[in-house]
Structure 1
């Protein structure tokens, strides 16, 4: 599959929906590269990969490490890296950290949470050669300030605020944006309000693409399944069954047999 350019991604607006999925290592990145248009190295790795309760403690060094692994596994897939919490509080810190991404990894773009309040940051980055994917709606990095993970777009005021955020992100130079945890009808309005692709997660089908965390979509994470996640395979069950079969064969001295020895 040919690697998309930013121009090609923009042309998918109101066309063939974009397919985005998270990955954190070379093995899964290689598997996903056959189907995904975009791989997101999400700060969600702090939870699904690192076992932490939220995304906030992941560091820039950790994100760079995982991004390099993903890029090695999927060199022909467009890769976006989440900017970690606290790495883009002002224009200078945002630029310095984004420059680390470009200098130390082959990633194609960075993703920043926030709408109109982060427009100056996005504008500064894009003006200095950094490709930016926006992220509006439910912002995981802001969950403590908001008192939890709260669905957006429940009122007309919230809907208009989201449209304002999307337009500000576009005007600042972002080439696409993620919209998370937003009522489906409002997300569709937001997508219609801008000319760049809007990729949804928990935001219905009226947008320009979808993204899911791979461990959710493949059924690896058992403690909790968000309402918006469809599990396409019960990965946890299949892995447990495989490891259980391996255990039995080892204990019964059935593995390795003559087919697996030198």
Structure 2
């Protein structure tokens, strides 16, 4: 069994250029599969509001939701580093952020928390870091800003926009964060972001930049097929497999093919005969 990554390991991996593998999961089964596959980091993102709860965005998730799902992920992947997202509204002020970050660490079993935002969140990131909580933040496409952005749209399209993203990344590092997420931007921008900071970075939809690459586990498994982001690569088609399995099951039930003898319990013959004799006597 490989040793579980530690927070200091992340800075070392950034320094040496070693590539790490990260997936976002939300329950025990996919977490266990990820650990068995040798994934380095599991992230419990509030994207599970969309993949597991059917919401149109991530905003409905709560701290209680994130704690419950992270506990399940920890049971499935106890030997894998785990980050948990602080949900929308849980870090609106420094005091609120510290309270909720500490609660997430204490109750969920995670190794670090992650919020969203850059320079405008400097005081909040610093407060959480100063409270002794390993904290990360997020630049580029910020799902918590979905309404401000007018949807889930690629960021960093212009040089000016790219410079603002780079400035946000530097602010996150200055505030004491241990790392940051780089999401949905051109590779040229994400590479500049990664090179602008010494802390750990992980990328989703931002090309090959960053120490770690992340995909949503339900996207890469083909389990969530409501829509597929441009950057998501499907390595399986589990939704198709699942639908076919349910359909085959339904056919077997309706035709009487299931359950058959191989999938049913039987009494010992002598006990079955005794039961039949007792019931016959009762009827007589």
TM class by smaller structure: over 0.9
> Hey, what's the Cα distance between the residues in 1 that align with 2:24 and 2:51?
11
Once superposed, what is the RMSD of the aligned Cα atoms? Answer: 1.4
Higher deviation after alignment, 82-91 or 170-179: 170-179
201, 205, 209: which is aligned to 1:206?
Answer: 209
Query: Whose helix proportion is higher, 1 or 2?
Result: 2
Query: 2:3 matched to 1:2?
Result: yes
What's the TM-score, normalizing by structure 1?
A: 0.95
Match of 1:250, SS state, is helix
92, 97, 119: which is aligned to 1:94?
Answer: 97
The aligned residue for residue 13 of structure 2 is: 12
> Hey, what's the Cα distance between the residues in 2 that align with 1:17 and 1:120?
31
Match of 2:225, SS state, is coil
1:84-123 C-alpha deviation (Å, 9 max, x unpaired): 1011011100001111112212111110100111121111
Counterpart contact for 2:165–2:193, Cα < 8 Å: yes
168, 175, 179: which is aligned to 1:176?
Answer: 179
Query: 2:19 matched to 1:29?
Result: no
1:156-189 C-alpha deviation (Å, 9 max, x unpaired): 1111111111111112121121111111111011
The aligned residue for residue 196 of structure 1 is: 199
Give the total of aligned pairs.
262
Query: 2:50 matched to 1:47?
Result: yes
Unaligned stretches of 5+ residues in structure 2: 266-284
The aligned residue for residue 138 of structure 1 is: 141
Match of 1:21, SS state, is strand
Counterpart contact for 2:105–2:113, Cα < 8 Å: no
Query: 2:41 matched to 1:38?
Result: yes
**Could you say which structure has the larger radius of gyration?**
2
The aligned residue for residue 150 of structure 2 is: 147
Query: 2:247 matched to 1:244?
Result: yes
Match of 2:149, SS state, is coil
Report how far residue 57 of structure 1 moved: 1.2
